[in-house]
Structure 1
Amino acid sequence: MSNPLHIQVTLDASRDRIYAALTEDVALETWFAEHAAIRLGEQRYDYWGRYTPGTPSQDEGEHPLLALNVKRHIRYAWQFPEGITKVDIGIVPRDGQHVLFVRHSDLPKKLDPKYANLEDFWFLSLENLRRYLDSKQIVRCDFSEMGTGDIQHSVEIEAGAEAVYEALIRPEQLNRWIASNAQVEAVEGGDYKFGWGDLGAIKILDMEDNRKLSYDWVEGDETPDTMVTWELEETAGKTRLTMVHSGFAADHSTEGMQAGWLNFMSWIKSLVEYGAQWQPAIKQLDPESYAYYPASMVAAQDQIVEDLPAQAELRLDDARPMGRYVELVSAVSNVAEAVQFYASVGFKNLSPNLMTDGSINLRFASGAGPKISLHYYGCDLKALPDFFVQGDGYMQTAAPGDVMVLCFPDENPYPMPPGDIFTRQPHSQLGKFGSLSLNIPDVKMSRAFWEQLGFQSTLDSIEPYPWSIVTDGQVVVGLHQNNPRSRFNQPHMTYFSTDSDMRIANLQKRGMELIPMEPRRGPQIANAQMSGPGDLKFFLYEGEV
């Protein structure tokens, strides 16, 4: 096995959809693992169960998150009996699509047999991800059922038997999913070879067009020669494809082959259902191994992503979390009126003066004070930076941009929205929360301030003026350097949606005053500014966070 093991797949999906598929529990439990508990804010990327090599328990399925570059790069640790390995998952744009790569590194030279099929696991997983994003049926591999003796798998393919049979018998099709140089003499006793030398398939033993194909199989070690049989059964335009690899002794270990055959069946299913545009996931190959991989994969070696995404990386192992609960606190003159306003735009009550939009919790404080502040709970006050000052049972500091940060040692009784700031599901009519955006004098100095609180930069730019986006996994803060062209002359809340024009039109119909902002989309307003209680400003933008 290569070390590191690098496998990548091209996906016809947006970065947001791919990232959601990688970070939402329900999504991962659909295409990747039996169970998943992704808690980016708690530095966890946990998954376990029978669809993972080794069938780990929940405790064995704990994966510490080592690094995060939001929507670009995830790194976590995977513990094996022989040592700790690292998994990097990256998303890279290419020609209007996205390449997702997995790079599994620090692999032991010799793995426990139950983990020996890691390559097939990743191949199968990436094909399942593609099929999940395209709303197609996926192919699950149950590692709890793998062991000894003959191998049998079945899949249902959305195509007739003739198309499926061609994938088994035509050399140009075999070269797309299994063969490096297929040679087929389509008669009983005829040659049937993949280009693997004297290994693998050798001769056709039995065949019936569109119904059955059998050939012998040579492993080249002490394993007796065996037989592979494919049977096709068409019903109502669909084909049930069954593969049986037989001839093994009942106690002969075939654990390392079972996932491989299921992966090949997954590739056949996709080849037939997607058609000519389908390309299997690409492994970075050593030239000496070219003969044992599909010709289509060998031909695509120049497409390999060589480097991790060139963006500022959020290294969670260096972060200093300030507590697991944070809420934004807005100073208003009338709490009841504030509650009524926010309820009208889709916020929901958690208490008489605390509401949530599904991404953040927002509390209202009556009277004078900062327009907006951040309150953290469950903090270790002794671990805070020296610039915090003592309050009445809490510590506080003034952040650049006219925002106060308060830290309380006690836990807050109210829940945070499920998940973390990157994966939460908002229900506000304003869209998805983007950031608490601040007007600051110097972006580098301000970023350094937030970094001391455990925040890290996820995006930086100097156009049209210096700005930076920082996060601690619980809340996102936008830092906008003071500039005449900057709209952020005071703290603002930003929201994003792909249907912002409809949202803005609906808010206007209900009598809310909005100030259009450029750019427009024809006669429709796609970006706008509105004011809330306490003169807190909201910017509504078209687009994705």
Structure 2
Amino acid sequence: MSGTFQAMVHVAAPRATVYRALTDPAALRAWLAEFAEVSLPERRFEFWGRYTPQGERGRQQLLIAQPDKLLSFAWTLDGTRTNVMFQLQDAGPSATLLALSQDGIPPMEELMAPTGRRDGLHTLHTFWGLALANLAEWAEGRELTPRCDFSASRSNEIRIELTIPAPPSQVFDSLIDPARISRWFGWEAEVEPRVGGRITLGADGTISEFQPGRLLAYAEPGMTTRWELTEAGGKTRLTFLQQGFQGDELDNVAQHEAGWAAGLAELKRLHELGPRWRPLIGELAPQG
């Protein structure tokens, strides 16, 4: 049984800007895909390349395009045709409520415990989280978060580097304070902030290195996770590294990388917006 993936995003930009993000090929190449070609009069809409799950060309087909209101296209993944729809509504002065839906998605139980390949439909719950974060960043004129490599030639480790507009001490607090973690990560983590302490931030592990404002590293059986922070002109250069994936599970690495990158986009956004912050994505789950 399949379900429908749904997400609601508040974008601080007018509908015309958000619609351009969805339909302008240069914009799509900036926030969504390595390659994109669009001609609405010719009913052509396609994107492909290393930043796209099963990124061969020719998997999309334009269905409906209503300027500043709606965009819908078919997208074939795992041999299954799914239908994607974006709907745009005003959400106040120079703000847009963007609703995304995609049918044909595996139920949550299968997403959490896949039994077969997971480079297509099983990636979408993390792929869209990151893609929507980058769409909002593009439309709002903010620095984009690094995209995820879904190609078969990718590395079997996750490495993400980005700059956060806050000093390292503040960013480090967002990595060890459970209340702050819940804001950008989506749920609270347990953290015992010391070497040998327990941590459940994306893993159930033990802290192996702990240098306030500089370094947090922890390990669980078969996996290590490392956060390095350096000061850069009053901002923080954050390097995230996760190792331990096997060479035959690159689809799993990509799925996790997209999830981590989406979380880091929200961490960056939390510090960018300060008291104006609210979760970017109102709902992100498959619905049966």
TM-score by length of 2: 0.85
Matches within 5 A, 1:75-86: 75-86=72-83
Question: Partner residue of 2:28?
Answer: 28
Cα distance in 2 for partners of 1:146, 1:209 equals 36
Cα distance in 2 for partners of 1:40, 1:167 equals 43
Question: Partner residue of 1:113?
Answer: 118
Query: Gaps (5+ residues) in structure 1?
Result: 218-223, 288-545
- Is 1:232–2:229 an aligned residue pair? yes
> 1:210 is aligned with what amino acid?
G
Cα distance in 2 for partners of 1:167, 1:30 equals 28
The answer to which structure has the higher helix fraction is 2
Cα distance in 2 for partners of 1:37, 1:17 equals 18
Quote the RMSD (CA, aligned, Å).
2.6
Equivalent pair of 2:129/2:259 in contact (CA under 8 Å): no
Question: Partner residue of 1:207?
Answer: 210
Of 133, 152, 165 in structure 2, the residue corresponding to residue 158 of structure 1 is 165
Question: Partner residue of 1:274?
Answer: 273
Question: Partner residue of 1:126?
Answer: 132
Equivalent pair of 2:11/2:97 in contact (CA under 8 Å): yes
Cα distance in 2 for partners of 1:183, 1:76 equals 41
How far did 1:77 drift? 0.4
How far did 1:259 drift? 1.8
Secondary structure at the aligned position of 1:143 is classed as: coil
Cα distance in 1 for partners of 2:171, 2:153 equals 26
How far did 1:249 drift? 4.0
Cα distance in 1 for partners of 2:175, 2:193 equals 11
Matches within 5 A, 1:176-255: 176-193=183-200, 200-217=203-220, 224-253=221-250, 254-255=253-254
Cα distance in 1 for partners of 2:153, 2:234 equals 31
Larger Rg: 1
Question: Partner residue of 1:70?
Answer: 67
Q: 1:124 to 1:172 in 2, by over 3 A?
A: same
Q: 1:249 to 1:85 in 2, by over 3 A?
A: closer
Question: Partner residue of 2:47?
Answer: 47
Equivalent pair of 1:8/1:126 in contact (CA under 8 Å): no
Question: Partner residue of 1:167?
Answer: 174
TM-score by length of 1: 0.47
Tell me the percent identity. Answer: 31
Cα distance in 1 for partners of 2:78, 2:228 equals 39
Instruction: Please list the CA deviations of residues 229-280 of structure 1 after superposition, one character each: whole Å capped at 9, or x if unmatched.
Output: 1111112223221111123444454333222222222222222222232323
Equivalent pair of 1:6/1:284 in contact (CA under 8 Å): yes
Q: 1:112 to 1:141 in 2, by over 3 A?
A: same
Equivalent pair of 1:66/1:75 in contact (CA under 8 Å): yes
Cα distance in 1 for partners of 2:169, 2:280 equals 21
Equivalent pair of 2:85/2:101 in contact (CA under 8 Å): yes
Question: Partner residue of 2:110?
Answer: none
How far did 1:143 drift? 2.2
